[in-house]
């Protein structure tokens, strides 16, 4: 399951000099995919691969070089901007293309002259969603988040008894998923304070973010045919950052008995870059249960999942208010956590999602749920960081926040690092709140 090969060699360098900067998210060991075009142009969307601060345009690269019969076939959908068609080919194509691109982008490659003309600075590119998102499911794998939020909503009964047995999730809304940089309009919803006789319609006063990862499905499964946990990762194409925007006051009133609805369905932001399982391979870690917790049922268990089914990914959230932006202050880091604390692994989520026969398809998206850490100050949402709005956060500008105000920008970031491996990152997932429409 280690999956390491020469594309992971930490000593590999690229002829794209910015990819050799130790601080870059996109060294030659990463090579994530995005759908992009030159900013302001009307050219067709195409798929690119990040290398340093550049994008390798696979539409141009297909024309500029000869790639051999097999790789040329892989490049056809990518040149046409159809990542889902490539995703549906499964892990073999993805691994094969990674090997080919790694060689082409290495120092000393004879393709350099041809491919130099296929680079676009990321700062001169605009990005779209990586593919059409088919169905979207949001899980709830952050046990520290589930416990903290459970305490706020149900002080005497924070973690329901099914949590340690079932990977909890709900079917979300795919139509309102947007790419990083898209403004998020403050939603209207039914609000009802504890002392109000009746609810009223108004813009949410408790707009919040949720720090999550999103897992894009590549090859699907047929309806009625569960995916065994041992094969589940073959259906996982890649990972993005995901912000599950949430209206906490709407949620508190509507969530029983069927769970979140309008409090979650107005917007979900994902990052443009899709980081592949191959890029994450050096950062696998053992999946372990806390002593005293039940072991997963057999359909959610395998030796491979136990040995290396979890991933060491550092996650963080930054906040920048409009006033901070005007003053030239960067996003202020609110917290950090790690995906290795997730209660379930990616393989378990896919195995569970399909065990009843549900079919997944290329471009389906599974959210991880909010990844809060075990410690104080590691909440992956403002709801947790402010104790349900009772303890405001003070920012570098002197402003305070409980929940988000119009003009506030939230930025999610993630990276992986360990001795003996090259550090990789996920880029950025940004969204900013804009004023609600006038109440109806």
Residues 195-224 within binding reach of Ca ion (CB under 5 A) = 210
Shortest Å, Cβ 140 to Ca ion? 7
3 state SS of 155:
coil
Of 74, 73, 7, the residue nearest 276 (C-alpha): 7
User: What is the pattern of x (binds Ca ion, CB under 5 A) and - over residues 159-198?
Assistant: ----------------------------------------
Q: Which of 45, 56, 42, 67 is nearest to 14 (CA)?
A: 56
83 phi and psi angles, rounded to 5 deg = -65, -35
Using the contact rule CB under 5 A, the part of the chain among 85-93, 179-187, 239-247, 296-304 near Ca ion is 239-247
Tell me which DSSP letter residue 172 carries: -
Minimum Å gap between C-beta 211 and Ca ion is 9
Among all residues, whose Cβ is closest to Ca ion? 244
Task: Name which of 258 and 291 has its Cβ closer to Ca ion.
Answer: 258
Where does this chain touch Ca ion (CB under 5 A) — which range of 68-76, 118-126, 237-245, 390-398?
237-245
Please list the alpha-helical segments (H only) found in 5-126.
58-64, 69-79, 83-87, 91-105, 112-116
Q: Does 57 bind Ca ion (CB under 5 A)?
A: no
Number of residues that bind Ca ion (CB under 5 A): 3
Q: Does 341 bind Ca ion (CB under 5 A)?
A: no
Asked if 331 is an active-site residue, the reply is no
**430 near Ca ion, judged by CB under 5 A:** no
Residues 6+ apart with CB under 8 A from 165: 294, 297
Can you say how many angstroms the Cα of residue 162 is from the centroid of all Cα atoms in its chain?
A: 26
Smallest distance from the beta carbon of 22 to Ca ion, in angstroms? 33
Burial of 184-211, coded b for 16+ CB within 10 Å and e otherwise, reads: bbbbbbebeeeeeeeeeeebbbbbbbbb
384 forms part of the interface with Ca ion (CB under 5 A): no
Query: What residues between 121 and 140 interact with Ca ion by CB under 5 A?
Result: 138
Provide the minimum distance between the beta carbon of 260 and Ca ion in the complex, in angstroms, as a whole number: 8
d(CA 260, CA 276): 30
Q: Pick between residue 3 and residue 260 the one whose CB is nearest to Ca ion.
A: 260
- Identity of the residue, 214 or 220, whose beta carbon is nearer to Ca ion in the bound complex: 214
Smallest gap from Cβ 435 to Ca ion, in A, equals 24
How far apart are CB 250 and Ca ion at their closest, in Å? Answer: 14
Per CB under 5 A, 244 contacts Ca ion: yes
Q: What distance in Å separates the CA atoms of residue 335 and residue 380, rounded to the nearest whole number?
A: 7
- Does residue 316 touch Ca ion according to CB under 5 A? no
- Catalytic residue (one of 144, 145, 235, 432): 145
| Between 20 and 265, CB nearer to Ca ion | 265
By C-alpha distance, which of 313, 312, 315, 311 is closest to 336?
315
Alpha-carbon distance of 374 to 168, in angstroms, equals 19
Catalytic residues: 145
- Contact residues: Ca ion, CB under 5 A: 138, 210, 244
């Amino acid at each position: 399951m280690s999956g390491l090969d020469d594309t992971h060699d930490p000593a590999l360098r690229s002829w794209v000099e910015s990819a050799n900067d130790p601080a870059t998210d996109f060294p030659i060991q990463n090579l994530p995919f995005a759908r992009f075009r030159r900013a302001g142009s009307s050219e067709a969307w195409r798929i690119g691969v990040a290398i340093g601060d550049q994008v390798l345009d696979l539409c141009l690269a297909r024309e500029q070089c000869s790639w051999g019969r097999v790789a040329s076939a892989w490049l056809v959908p990518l040149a046409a901007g159809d990542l889902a068609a490539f995703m549906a080919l499964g892990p073999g194509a993805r691994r094969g293309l990674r090997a080919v691109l790694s060689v082409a982008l290495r120092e000393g490659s004879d393709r350099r002259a041809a491919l130099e003309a296929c680079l676009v600075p990321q700062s001169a590119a605009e990005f779209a969603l990586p593919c059409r998102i088919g169905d979207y499911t949001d899980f709830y794998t952050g046990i520290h988040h589930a416990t903290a939020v459970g305490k706020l909503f149900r002080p005497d009964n924070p973690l329901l008894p099914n949590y340690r047995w079932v990977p909890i999730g709900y079917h979300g809304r795919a139509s309102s998923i947007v790419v990083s940089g898209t403004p998020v309009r403050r939603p209207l919803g039914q609000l009802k304070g504890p002392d109000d006789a009746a609810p009223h319609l108004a813009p949410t006063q408790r707009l919040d973010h949720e720090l999550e990862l999103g897992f894009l499905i590549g090859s699907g499964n047929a309806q009625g045919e569960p995916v065994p946990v041992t094969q589940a990762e073959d259906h996982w194409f890649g990972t993005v950052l995901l912000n599950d925007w949430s209206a906490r006051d709407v949620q508190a009133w509507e969530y029983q008995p069927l769970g979140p609805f309008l409090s979650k369905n107005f917007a979900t932001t994902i990052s443009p870059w899709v980081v592949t399982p191959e890029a994450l391979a050096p950062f696998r870690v053992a999946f372990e249960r806390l002593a005293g917790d039940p072991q997963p049922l057999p359909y959610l268990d395998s030796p491979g999942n136990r040995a290396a089914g979890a991933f060491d990914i550092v996650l963080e959230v930054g906040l920048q208010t409009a006033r901070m932006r005007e003053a030239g202050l960067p996003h202020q880091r609110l917290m950090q956590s790690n995906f290795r604390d997730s209660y379930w692994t990616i393989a378990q989520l896919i195995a569970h999602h399909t065990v009843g026969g549900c079919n997944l398809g290329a471009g389906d998206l599974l959210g991880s749920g909010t990844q809060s850490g075990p410690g104080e100050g590691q909440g992956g949402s403002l709801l947790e960081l402010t104790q349900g709005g009772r303890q405001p956060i003070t920012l570098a500008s002197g402003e305070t926040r409980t929940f988000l105000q119009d003009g506030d920008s939230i930025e999610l970031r993630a990276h992986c690092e360990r001795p003996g491996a090259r550090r990789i990152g996920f880029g950025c997932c940004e969204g900013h709140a804009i004023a609600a429409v006038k109440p109806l």
